[in-house]
Amino acid sequence: MADQPLVLGIETSCDETGVGIVRGHTLLANTIASSVEQHARFGGVVPEVASRAHLEAMTPAVERALAEAGVGFGDIDAIAVTAGPGLAGALLVGVAAAKAYSLGLGVPLYGVNHLAAHVAVDQLEHGPLPKPCVALLVSGGHSSLLLVPDVAHDVISLGSTVDDAAGEAFDKVARVLGLPFPGGPHIDREAREGSGAAVAFPRGKYDDGTLDFSFSGLKTAVARWVEARRAAGESIHVPDVAASFQEAVVDVLTRKAIDACRRYDVRDLLIGGGVAANSRLRALARERCQAAGIRLRVPRPGLCTDNGAMVAALGADLVSGGAAPSALTIPADSSLPITTVHV
């Protein structure tokens, strides 16, 4: 068990009920039940709706994951669960389920950090992480730069968003442009037919000397630009606006990520989180990393969005590293700091 533990991971921080099973760094199952369609008419995730969806999806998702992996409950060595950060009610469902499985099966429980799990998941595709590496995490709730000496024990925050996260800005701009929720995939699709240089949208905190991000001003600038043209009776070419907005976001993200690598003399950059599935972010990061002599690692899109496999991967690292299990009294912490990898 020590080197190749079989770990079941549970993720319920937002609107996806994710259950993953790994053996060491080998992915055996990654089952996801999303409630995104239930939130679409509200233009964003409704916490109570998400929590109820997790309750309904949990048992079927676990059973599907076990069947996909070809294992039974008796084969599981440990349970890992996202203890935070995330939506409090949604987290509670996952943490309660994980405690029940841990107690019922008589196996140890590991409460883990959602953001650190987004880093750990890359090991399922590209092998052990370089030590150290810099991680750029971009999602609906987080835009963070991290220095990662050891993902299971030592993660250091270098910078984060001071207002809207990148994914949140994608959702809000999509709404302005009349595109469906969630906005990220739709803006990415529209932008492929537009020009990123069509509109000169602002780049918040671009040259401020920090490794922090700000996307609220950009979101507002897009909204005002669109409103002004509609008021003047002018037509709006959505692909150009989408591409120009997207370019502003990924320009800042990749510039600061490269800057972080240079400042801390790190030669490996990892990008994770839901926005890491964005095609332009992946392309520009690849281009700038090659120019700077930095090695880039980005998981496949299916492992970028919230999933149970990432939780199981981090749990496996903790088990194989001899970390003490979490107590059955661990809370669901909606504001769990990134420096707390293991609760």
Q: Is 244 annotated as a binding residue?
A: no
Given a contact cutoff of 8 angstroms between Cβ atoms, the answer to whether 138 and 274 are in contact is yes
Two tokens, residue 181: 């929720």
Q: Is 140 annotated as a binding residue?
A: yes
**Cα–Cα distance measured from residue 129 to residue 141, given in angstroms and rounded to the nearest whole number:** 24
Q: Is 138 annotated as a binding residue?
A: yes
Q: Is 278 annotated as a binding residue?
A: yes
User: Which of 65, 34, 54 is CA-nearest to residue 312?
Assistant: 65
Q: Is 317 annotated as a binding residue?
A: no
∠ Cα 295 299 303 (to 5°): 165
Helix, coil or strand: residue 111: strand
Cα atoms in the Cβ-side hemisphere of radius 13 Å centred on 290: 6
Q: Is 237 annotated as a binding residue?
A: no
**Cα–Cα distance measured from residue 241 to residue 29, given in angstroms and rounded to the nearest whole number:** 39
CA 135 vs CA 83, 157, 186, 296: distances in Å = 20, 10, 25, 10
Two tokens, residue 8: 């079941």
Output the furthest CA–CA distance in the chain (Å, rounded): 67
Strands 143-150 and 78-84: unpaired
Report the DSSP beta bridge partners of residue 208: none
CA 115 vs CA 141, 246, 335: distances in Å = 10, 23, 11
Q: Is 150 annotated as a binding residue?
A: no
Q: What letter does residue 20 receive in the DSSP assignment?
A: E
Given a contact cutoff of 8 angstroms between Cβ atoms, the answer to whether 152 and 317 are in contact is yes
Enumerate the known binding-site residues: 114, 118, 137-141, 171, 184, 188, 278, 306
Enumerate the known binding-site residues for substrate: 137-141, 171, 184, 188, 278
Enumerate the known binding-site residues for Fe cation: 114, 118, 306
